[in-house]
Copies of this chain bind each other. A is one copy, B any other.
Amino acid sequence: MQGTTEEARAAAYTPTDRTVPTRSADRASYDKELVHAILDEGYVCHLGFVRDGAPVVLPTLYGRVGERLYVHGSTGARALRMTGEADPGLPVCVTVTHVDGLVLARSAFHHSINYRSVVVHGTARQVTDPQEKRAALDALVDHVVPGRAADSRPANKKELAATAVIRLDLDEVSAKVRTGGANDDPEDLALPHWAGVLPLRGGYAAPLPNADLAPGIELPDYLKAL
């Protein structure tokens, strides 16, 4: 029995007051595998923090290593300055959202989007251990393009000093997912409006080599694969 309980504990985050949504609770999930998959598919999060009592939401790059999220930025950036090691840390909310499709219903009211999102609540702290900082920066680059960290010049001492990295433990976490078609009321089904889903195409257009790219450098395979 204990084995089962521990397995269940490991497989899901524990819901809290603020990770249980007040609506569409059926779309919420605490499954770690799902949360990790949503996080690993993205690279831009929206980082929220409180400054002078008011909310601030900024888009920024992130990476995941195990049960930790990392966000980086200039040491001069406002949010990162607010997370000095001596401080008790900065309460943050990090949200990652993938839009998968537009849901067109016959009724304006039932229009929606198909999406997968993860919301992480917690306290952000500056990463000071050099090894953890390097691993976090590799994760950030590999989130943008898997395999890229190994194919670029690693940060030197000056760059590391100019970069602040903050970490956020994945502890108070929830995912929310909507899939499927339009859910119109039965009395609307015969209305003469098209209903269905417009899936987002995603993916990348042809790569644009830098104007100053040295001759003879071919597009690497990990980019061709995208």
Contact = CB atoms under 8 A, between A and B. Distances in A.
A11 interface: no
A43 interface: yes
Interface in A122-173: 137-138, 140-141, 144-145, 148-149, 151-156, 159, 163
For chain A, the bracket of interface size reads 35 or more
A16 to B, nearest CB: 11
**Copies of this chain assembled into the complex:** 2
A8 interface: no
Given A53-B91, A153-B191, A217-B194, A204 B201 contact: yes
Contact of A111 (B117, B152, B194, B196): B152
A201 B201 contact: yes
Contacts of A35: none
A68 interface: no
Interface in A47-77: 47-51, 53-59, 61, 73-74, 76-77
A98 to B, nearest CB: 10
A105 to B, nearest CB: 7
30 contacts: A22-B78, A47-B57, A50-B53, A54-B121, A55-B56, A55-B93, A57-B95, A58-B95, A59-B95, A104-B144, A108-B138, A108-B141, A108-B153, A108-B154, A109-B159, A111-B144, A153-B188, A153-B191, A153-B193, A182-B210, A189-B212, A189-B214, A192-B217, A193-B217, A195-B209, A196-B209, A198-B223, A200-B202, A200-B205, A201-B202
Q: Report the 7 A-B pairs with minimum CB-CB distance, sorted nearest first.
A: A48-B57, A48-B55, A46-B46, A59-B97, A109-B159, A57-B95, A195-B210
